[in-house]
Amino acid sequence: MVRPKRRLTDSQLALFLIVPLVIFQAALTLYPSATALWMSLQKFNPMAQPIGFVGANNYIKALTDPAVAHATLVSLEFTFVVVVAAVLLGIGGALLLNEQFRGRSIVRVLVVLPWAIPEYATAVIFGYLYSENFGTINGLLYQLNLIPNYLPLLYLGHIWLTGIAYSWHYAPLAIFFFLGALQSVPEDLYRQAKIDGASAFMRFRTVVFPYLRYALLIVLVLASVDAMKALDIVWIMTQGGPADATRVLTFEIYRETFQYGQLGYGATLSFLLMLLITALTAVYFIVLTRRRR
């Protein structure tokens, strides 16, 4: 007698599909992370010195190094600029794209372009915009008689203007998070508030914002994590200058690891950056949990 084939349950099928991917991902993540952690406890310069275990000395050195402290503060300032600008551009763009107008679908597609292009291209574009010789922004300010002559904007604004450039690159992702949240705002509730005579600001604060709150917190987390890890745009636009004013923590990690060959100390700084990102993310998720309660 032929036995009927046994069919997998939904849970068994899910495990069958997920477990191999989890094992594969763990192999790609855990082993390099464990190796980097072990390396962070050593003084390791393959070009000059043999491997030597130093324990927590690298971490003590990093926590007492003024250069690391300065780079951390610059990273936090850069992250603040990126987050604030990305949120403002995201909410403004989402409110605009949520309105009915001719060609809205085309505009929604075009809005994605800044996020789709590489950070390198973003850095080059804003480098031309900020240029003190032929920059578009300088030219506009000069034509409006707001400045007497062309100024080195990037060196005057340094980390702030660099952060604005990165927020322009990142804003489309924020726009579509907020745009998705706006789709859940009840039309009847918004129309009733308008009939009741509520101003545009009051309608946004009392009707729209409660539906944007969780999207806002998600954008805060993602933008903060990506800004803390950013290196390409800072390296291309300023090379850490002027006078280390834009030397973010990732720049310090790159310099210690690849320029000085201090692989152990570079790994230490990487783990400190990871802890900083984790702490920042935890704060956002605590706020998110409290908001939900």
Question: What is the b/e burial string over 49-73, where b = at least 16 CB atoms within 10 angstroms of the residue's CB?
Answer: eeeeebeeebbeebeeeeebebbbe
Residues 54-74 pLDDT 10s: 888 999 999 999 999 999 999
* Residue of 48 and 110 predicted with greater confidence: 110
Residues of the chain with pLDDT > 90, as a percent, come to 37
Q: pLDDT-derived band of residue 2, with 50, 70 and 90 as boundaries? A: low
The domain locations on the chain are 51-292
Pick among 3.60.15.10, 3.30.565.10, 3.40.640.10, 1.10.3720.10: CATH of 51-292: 1.10.3720.10
pTM (global) more than 0.75: yes
| Cβ–Cβ < 8 Å for 150, 132 | yes
Residue 115 and residue 99: Cα distance in Å, rounded?
Answer: 22
- Res 99: pLDDT: 82
43 pLDDT more than 50: yes
